[in-house]
Amino acid sequence: MPDNSIADLRPRQGFQPSRLIGWVGREPMTASCVAVLLFFVLVAIFAPLIAGDPIALNPAERLTSSSESAIWGRDHLGRDVFARAVYGTRTSMLVGFSVAGLTTLFGVAIGIYAGMSRIGGAVIMRLNDAMMAIPAILLAIALASLMNAGVVTVIIAITLPEIPRMVRLVRSVVLGVREQPYVAAATSIGTSGLAMVWRHILPNTLGPVLVQATYACASAIIASAVLSFLGVGTSPEVPSWGGMMADARSYFRIHPELMAYPGALLSMLVLVVNILGDRLSDALDPRKTRRGSL
């Protein structure tokens, strides 16, 4: 029999159900958004366990409504709409998180450099202004149509126009932090450039960057749907919500549900991510003390 007496003396760590319940009680809106997001993540990961084949054609049952084999009915090629919607979650999540991650990585690196270097910063900010003068979605459409169709193409095409916004944000934070007394103090005791960035500059950018990354994730999910909807997104074999909506256009009057399922899922995911971004922004902003539901 193991001796538990020592374990009991250690400070309590790890998962504590009572704290989780308390948080849910205080922040019901945030908690439900986290729950919905987790649900989407799980659906994306376990798609093969949840749904059947999203690609298999079944021409005999084309445009049929809900049945035993396909609970959300079948599309114009007889494909299982539910299965396509489930696998479409994967595409959206993959693009959303990849774009958010890549934008953060490049945006923070370039933004910190632009904030620390006087001449390099000026050059980068001019390039940035020019990039931001090209409407993001048009640039993404053009990039996606020039490269070969595929998820990687879509991610690159959406990330490139997204980076300048992050660069501008990070640079403005860095310029503010550089004026702080603790940075002067660190310089006076001989902290070198890289150590300064790592220990004092980078941690200060994390809050705003996290918020911006959340918004970037939401807008990337929309953008990838727009690309698929316009026919320049992922290849037609890869199930995506935007692609499903594009397919549904011709049958919209008779079968609006083909449009409604992917449209509702898309809106819900983006809504949840945006609300979490707002919550994060409120929580990280010391000036805002407001808490409470939406």
- Answer yes or no whether residue 231 interacts with another protein by CB under 8 A: yes
Out of 21, 57, 146, 195, the only residue in the binding site for another protein (CB under 8 A) is 146
CB-count burial class (<10 Å; 0-12, 13-18, 19+) for 133: exposed
Cα torsion 90, 92, 98, 101: sign: negative
Out of 99, 222, 238, 280, the only residue in the binding site for another protein (CB under 8 A) is 222
- Answer yes or no whether residue 173 interacts with another protein by CB under 8 A: no
d(CA 199, CA 194): 8
Nearer to another protein, 145 or 187 (CB): 145
- Answer yes or no whether residue 135 interacts with another protein by CB under 8 A: yes
Contact in structure between 84 and 245 (CB atoms under 8 Å): no
- Answer yes or no whether residue 53 interacts with another protein by CB under 8 A: no
d(CA 149, CA 127): 27
- Residues 6 or more apart whose CB falls under 8 angstroms from that of 181 comprise none
The identity of residue 97, as a single letter, is F
- Answer yes or no whether residue 278 interacts with another protein by CB under 8 A: yes
Give the three-class secondary structure for 71: coil
Nearest distance in Å: CB 200, another protein = 29
- Answer yes or no whether residue 125 interacts with another protein by CB under 8 A: no
Q: Per CB under 8 A, which region of 36-44, 52-60, 79-87, 269-277 contacts another protein?
A: 269-277
Residues that bind another protein (CB under 8 A): 126-127, 129-139, 141-143, 145-147, 218, 222, 225-226, 229-232, 245, 252-253, 256, 259, 263, 266-267, 270-271, 273-275, 278, 290, 293-294
